[in-house]
Amino acid sequence: MPNFEVPPQETPQNPENTLESACQRVNARLRAELHEKYGEDWDYHNPEHSEGVAEWALRFLEKSQIATDEDRLLAETAGLGHDAFQDFKWKPNIRGIGWKRIRETVVIEEKSAVHGLDLLEEEGANLESNGRKKFQDAVLATIPEWDLNLKTIIQPRLGRYSPDIAWAVAAADIGSAGYDTEKFLRDGDQVFCEDNMLPALKTLSDAQAEKLYAEVLGWSAMQVDFAKGQKAYWQRDLVPYFVYDQMTEFKASIQAAEERLAHRKALKDVSKSAKENLQILLDDMGFTRYGTPEGTR
């Protein structure tokens, strides 16, 4: 009799165990966590920031010729989860007025990377070691550092041999001056509002109010240099083309920052007191964090 071989039967893949479905479940969990922990009291590092990083990371990767479907899935999850933790301490302002929120960078990103990988494993992502490393690289690439020469934030973990997913998430995190002028202006004010806490203005002396006024106005002046530094940072030769080509807003961001600075300088009314002028300037920034660190999280 003929010997017929029975072809091997393929095991149907459970749609719940695909990487895409696992990432979707992790993303839902991350969104819920972000809204629970950072829905209030966070002007900048809030759920909207993380959502924006995820969105722009995907936009950047659309232009990459070597990014895989896995890269795109992990980039969205890394963008959502890159700031899953916000460890910080309030410390007295070195200038002597109010308090500064000091974020524990490196700790934040390292904990966030581990947390993201744990969630992916819990949801059955089954990543190979290369996939785990790319996800980790993407989150750790967002570790910030201040560059004195460029007068802007850089990301020292980002380098020539970083994977495309890391470049995409990192650029989405700090590169708004290059890709969205309105967002860049908003980011600048939100970072100041988040990281500063001031005593009630009525408790300040006129001299303190004038000193604080100069500091607040100086923040807006710094945003001009910040945008110029970002332009120099993202237009380096080692920046991948798919990031470089989409960073088209620097000229507009620099001009907008200069115009906003001129607008805020013009707000000063010599007929008003130092405290009144300070209040007008803070209101223009949307600042509302008055009080003391006691009882804050």
Distance, first Cα to last Cα, the chain: 80
**Which residues contact residue 211 at a Cβ distance below 8 angstroms, ignoring those fewer than 6 apart?**
95, 97
| pLDDT on residue 11 | 41
| pLDDT on residue 95 | 77
For residues 83-105, give the mean pLDDT. Answer: 94
Burial of residue 114 (number of CB atoms within 10 Å: 0-12, 13-18, 19+): middle
Q: What is the pLDDT of residues 139-177, one digit of tens each?
A: 999 999 999 999 999 999 999 999 999 999 999 999 999
Tokens linked to 276 = 């009144």
The residue among 295, 149, 101, 290 whose CA lies nearest residue 212 is 290
Q: What is the pLDDT of residues 189-240, one digit of tens each?
A: 999 999 999 999 999 999 999 999 999 999 999 999 999 999 999 999 999 9
Tokens linked to 224 = 């001009």
Amino acid at 147: D
| pLDDT on residue 294 | 84
C-alpha 178/C-alpha 72 separation (Å) is 21
pLDDT at 17 over 80: no
